[in-house]
């Protein structure tokens, strides 16, 4: 969609919202979300080959949209996200398979296993052989977290061959291998293929692997093109969840499959501190707190470049237009003007909000909670 058209539609939708909308505000276009979900499923070739990571969306409205699209396998990072997945699945009357893709403390394993009620299945990642042995005492689907180069969690394939023998652990088999190539980018095909070769060789060596899971939003195309991952007898699945909402950082993969930004931060101009400068009310507590500047781009205003944010303020510098002239591409936004920001990293942006404004095109359709935003309380009680 043309940026000017997108901004105009968002302006009309926000104008129809109840008076007194506070900025910064998270605004999500549900029509674009639906189109993005359809595009990802079409790219994967089957809904069964996609296990979206819900750390991006964290809200029941969009999880419901995924379930309605036929998604039954999900990936999450936190216990609130897991509880939200199970609650929405119960409300929909469907059974899901949820992978808690984080090296969970063994002390929480029993509480996590208790959540696998009814037809639901819950999987967890084993970080190394000792972790695997401890987790095997609980009624959970067990996955081996294989470090394929990111060096953040998991163990090497050699470690799993040497120490993770399933027979020694007294298990009948494992659910799958999890290999996340988050250190690689959209154009890193050769190193991605080398990493997938490692996963396939390990799966062949173990001989009882049901699933191989790979790929965030920057690696999925390489994984889908890798012949070894597709040959089985395991099922291969991708986990890209960021593309459901999309962001600046995922522009290249989004453009490749026809995905568009669906989440925006509405921010107001609050100050003009000097010539060629203005300040918005969308600081690090409102948008992309985990990335260096620029934290976003501004719809229809390429001449505005975000600087280093403080907690409540986002300074913008007025640069030359894309033509290279000394004039900006449009008039400088006045005080109280609302600008539409596309986050550089949408996942951490969504996590900052308790509620979202929902639109469909140029229509305001309501608001809703972001139930799994933030952290859980200090005491993790059993699920009710």
Cα torsion for 219, 254, 27, 70, to the nearest 10°?
A: -70
pLDDT for the residue 164: 64
- HSE of 54 in the Cβ direction (CA atoms, 13 Å)? 34
User: Alpha-carbon distance 358 to 32, whole Å?
Assistant: 11
Q: Report residue 194 as tokens.
A: 């080398």
Residue 362 structure tokens: 């140029």
CATH number of 30-241: 3.20.20.10
Question: What is the per-residue pLDDT for 376?
Answer: 78
Predicted confidence at residue 244, as pLDDT, reads 98
DSSP-derived secondary structure letter, 331: P
Establish how many alpha carbons lie within 13 A of residue 144's alpha carbon, considering only the half-sphere containing its beta carbon.
32
pLDDT at 377: 77
Domain 3-27+257-369, second-level architecture:
Beta Barrel (2.40)
Q: For position 168, what pLDDT does the model report?
A: 39
Tokens of 204: 């062949």
Q: So where are the chain's domains?
A: 3-27+257-369, 30-241
CA 200/CA 179 separation, integer angstroms: 10
Average pLDDT per 10 consecutive residues for the chain, totaling 384 residues? 94 91 97 98 97 98 98 96 97 97 94 92 96 92 96 96 60 83 96 98 90 95 97 95 97 97 98 94 97 96 96 94 44 93 98 98 97 82 56
Q: Do domains 3-27+257-369 and 30-241 have the same CATH topology?
A: no
pLDDT at position 203 is: 93
Instruction: Choose among 233, 236, 231: nearest CA to 220.
Output: 236
Q: Is the sign of the CA dihedral 158, 104, 125, 249 positive or negative?
A: negative
- Nearest-10 Cα torsion for 15, 260, 268, 346: 130
Would you say 265 and 349 are in contact if contact means Cβ atoms under 8 Å apart?
Answer: yes
Helices in 73-122 by DSSP H: which ranges?
A: 79-92, 109-114
Query: Beta-carbon neighbour count of residue 32 at 10 Å?
Result: 23
pLDDT at 18: 87
User: Strand ranges (DSSP E) for the chain?
Assistant: 25-29, 73-76, 97-100, 121-126, 141-145, 174-179, 209-214, 235-238, 263-274, 277-280, 296-298, 304-306, 314-318, 338-343, 355-360, 363-369
Helix (H) or strand (E) holding 4: helix 3-15
Give the pair of three-digit tokens for residue 195.
């990493």
pLDDT of the residue at 206: 87
Q: CA-CA distances (angstroms) from residue 132 to 113, 214, 381? A: 15, 20, 24
DSSP character string of 18-80? PS---SSEEEEEHHHHHHHHHHHHHHHSSGGGB--BTTTT-SHHHHHHHHHTT--EEEESSHH
Distance (Å, whole) CA 314 – CA 278: 9
Tokens 């394939």 correspond to 157
């Amino acid at each position: 969609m043309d940026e000017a058209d997108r901004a105009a539609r968002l302006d009309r939708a926000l104008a129809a919202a109840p008076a007194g909308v506070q900025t910064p505000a998270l605004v999500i276009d549900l029509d674009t979300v639906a189109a993005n979900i359809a595009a990802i499923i079409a790219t994967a070739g089957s809904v069964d080959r996609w296990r979206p990571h819900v750390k991006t969306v964290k809200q029941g409205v969009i999880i419901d949209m995924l379930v309605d699209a036929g998604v039954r396998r999900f990936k999450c990072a936190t216990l609130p996200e897991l509880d939200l997945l199970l609650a929405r699945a119960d409300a929909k009357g469907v059974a899901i398979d949820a992978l808690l893709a984080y090296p969970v403390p063994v002390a929480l394993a029993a509480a996590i296993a208790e959540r696998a009620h009814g037809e639901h299945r819950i999987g967890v990642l084993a970080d190394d052989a000792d972790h695997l042995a401890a987790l095997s005492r609980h009624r959970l689907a067990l996955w081996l977290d294989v470090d394929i180069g990111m060096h953040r969690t998991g163990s090497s394939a050699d470690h799993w061959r040497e120490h993770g023998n399933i027979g020694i652990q007294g298990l009948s088999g494992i659910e799958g291998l999890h290999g996340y190539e988050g250190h690689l980018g959209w154009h890193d095909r050769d190193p991605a293929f080398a990493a997938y070769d490692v996963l396939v060789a390990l799966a062949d060596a173990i001989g009882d692997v049901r699933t191989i899971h790979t790929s965030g939003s920057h690696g999925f195309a390489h994984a889908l093109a890798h012949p070894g991952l597709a040959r089985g007898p395991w099922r291969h699945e991708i986990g890209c969840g960021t593309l459901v909402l999309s962001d600046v950082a995922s522009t290249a993969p989004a453009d490749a499959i026809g995905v568009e930004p669906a989440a925006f931060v509405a921010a107001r101009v609050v100050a003009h501190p000097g010539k060629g400068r203005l300040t918005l009310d969308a600081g690090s507590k409102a948008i992309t707190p985990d990335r260096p500047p620029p934290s976003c781009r501004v719809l229809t205003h390429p001449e505005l470049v975000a600087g280093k944010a403080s907690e409540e303020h986002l300074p913008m510098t007025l640069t030359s237009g894309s033509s290279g002239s000394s004039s900006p591409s449009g008039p400088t936004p006045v005080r109280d003007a609302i600008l539409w920001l596309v986050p550089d990293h949408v996942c951490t942006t969504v996590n900052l909000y308790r509620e979202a404004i929902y639109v469909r095109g140029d229509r305001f359709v309501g608001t809703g909670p972001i139930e799994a935003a933030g952290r859980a309380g200090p005491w993790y009680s059993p699920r009710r």
